[in-house]
Copies of this chain bind each other. A is one copy, B any other.
Amino acid sequence: MRLRNLAAIVTLMLVTSNADAVHKTEGFRPASQTVSKTLAERLGYPRDTKLLIVHADDLGMAHSINTASIKALETGLVSSGSIMIPCSWLPEIAAYARTHPEADLGLHLTLTSEWSLYRWGPVLTKDRVPSLLDSSGYLYPLESEAAAHIDAKEAEAEIRAQIARARALGIQPTHLDSHMGTLYQNKALFDTLLRVARENKLPIRLPRELVASASFLPSLLTPDDIVIDSVVSIDPSVSPEGWAQYYTDAIKNLQPGVTEMVVHLAYDDEEMRGVAFAHPNWGSEWRQRDFQFVTSDAFRKLLQENNVKLITWREVGKLLRGGKS
């Protein structure tokens, strides 16, 4: 997702185990999850089970991303992914979704277009969503710029159009999240995401750490909203040499409950190097490193040795749909 702020927050939480933040986190917990059962228990697991969604972001953005992500999904070590509807490689991943209805695929709702040589616009028309477009006619490059300019009503129309387009192409999304976290940037945008997700009975990427740290968040939530326990996402502070160690530590330190590990998969090939031109963060080598790790025997062994059970967003979302897939 390149949910930068969230990634930074989550990394901070993981690294420091900040007591104050933990305290704040415990201060908020939707009633249905605290009073009676934890999310893990609601999913049918013992309270101390370590449940992990290994999630590939940015599907549909590039052929390199699609092929690497599909390969990783098929190893069984990546359990979920989310799709960017406005991008030109959407038909490729939509074809995969149609022929693999069991695949756990959500929508990576897209309100930004961050690269320099390769860009995209919204699904809706310029007339309908002028606040979404920068001066060149594409979506804004940065989530902060986007959030500063976007009219939440237009964002709502656009994400509804993205969901409708996905369904029209035969994609049955199991969850929603937000490319680069744009929909988490302010209260109006997050409220939009939350309302659209509730209407569609789909869970969103929402860890307790974020609820604790974003002041606007707790007042928007109801006891029926699903909050997962943690999100793990590597960030630019990790050196290429430290990549495997970061993920190894993250798995070894995994706490009981539901964690989503967000990865960005692609091959370090000509296309991906062109897409991420002059942008090493979340770039071509970054994605190749993520791919190497999550498809490695070391990762498989690590999950086994640490008693980590992979789950999907579909299982989580069933709680919102009365047990229906």
Kindly list chain B residues whose C-beta atoms are within 8 Å of the C-beta of A127. Answer: 125, 127-128
- Contacts A269-B269, A270-B67, A270-B271 given: A88-B91 contact, CB under 8 Å? no
CB distance from A155 to the nearest CB of B (A): 17
CB distance from A125 to the nearest CB of B (A): 3
Verify A118–B267 contact, CB threshold 8 A.
no
- Interface code A68-98, partner B: CB below 8 Å = 1, 0 otherwise? 0000000000000000000111111001000
Verify A274–B92 contact, CB threshold 8 A.
yes
**Which chain B residue has the least Cβ–Cβ distance from A116?**
B91
Kindly list chain B residues whose C-beta atoms are within 8 Å of the C-beta of A62. Answer: 271
**Which chain B residue has the least Cβ–Cβ distance from A136?**
B169
> How far is A92 from B117 in the complex, measured between Cα atoms in Å?
4
Kindly list chain B residues whose C-beta atoms are within 8 Å of the C-beta of A153. Answer: none
> Which A residues, 273 to 290, have Cβ-Cβ distances below 8 Å to chain B?
274-275, 277
> Which A residues, 101 to 150, have Cβ-Cβ distances below 8 Å to chain B?
116-120, 123-128, 136-138
Instruction: Choose among B63, B87, B128, B137 the residue that contacts A271 (Cβ–Cβ < 8 A).
Output: B63
Verify A274–B67 contact, CB threshold 8 A.
yes
Verify A91–B63 contact, CB threshold 8 A.
no
Kindly list chain B residues whose C-beta atoms are within 8 Å of the C-beta of A67. Answer: 270, 274
Which 3 A-B pairs give the minimum distances between C-beta atoms? A125-B125, A92-B117, A271-B271
How many copies of this chain? Answer: 2
CB distance from A290 to the nearest CB of B (A): 18
> How far is A9 from B119 in the complex, measured between Cα atoms in Å?
37
User: Residues on A close to B: CB < 8 A?
Assistant: 62-64, 66-67, 87-92, 95, 116-120, 123-128, 136-138, 165, 168-169, 267, 269-271, 274-275, 277
CB distance from A255 to the nearest CB of B (A): 39
**Which chain B residue has the least Cβ–Cβ distance from A271?**
B271
List 21 A-B residue pairs with CB atoms under 8 Å apart, sorted by A's residue number: A63-B271, A64-B270, A67-B274, A88-B120, A89-B117, A91-B116, A91-B136, A92-B117, A92-B274, A92-B277, A123-B137, A124-B125, A125-B125, A125-B127, A127-B128, A136-B168, A137-B165, A137-B168, A267-B270, A269-B271, A271-B271
> How far is A305 from B109 in the complex, measured between Cα atoms in Å?
58
Verify A117–B91 contact, CB threshold 8 A.
yes
CB distance from A191 to the nearest CB of B (A): 27
Kindly list chain B residues whose C-beta atoms are within 8 Å of the C-beta of A90. Answer: 119
Kindly list chain B residues whose C-beta atoms are within 8 Å of the C-beta of A95. Answer: 116-117
> How far is A324 from B227 in the complex, measured between Cα atoms in Å?
65
Verify A118–B137 contact, CB threshold 8 A.
no
Kindly list chain B residues whose C-beta atoms are within 8 Å of the C-beta of A87. Answer: 88
**Which chain B residue has the least Cβ–Cβ distance from A125?**
B125
**Which chain B residue has the least Cβ–Cβ distance from A165?**
B137
CB distance from A64 to the nearest CB of B (A): 7
> How far is A138 from B66 in the complex, measured between Cα atoms in Å?
20
User: Residue among A87, A270, A277 with the most chain B CB within 10 A?
Assistant: A270
Verify B270–A63 contact, CB threshold 8 A.
yes
Kindly list chain B residues whose C-beta atoms are within 8 Å of the C-beta of A271. Answer: 62-64, 269-271
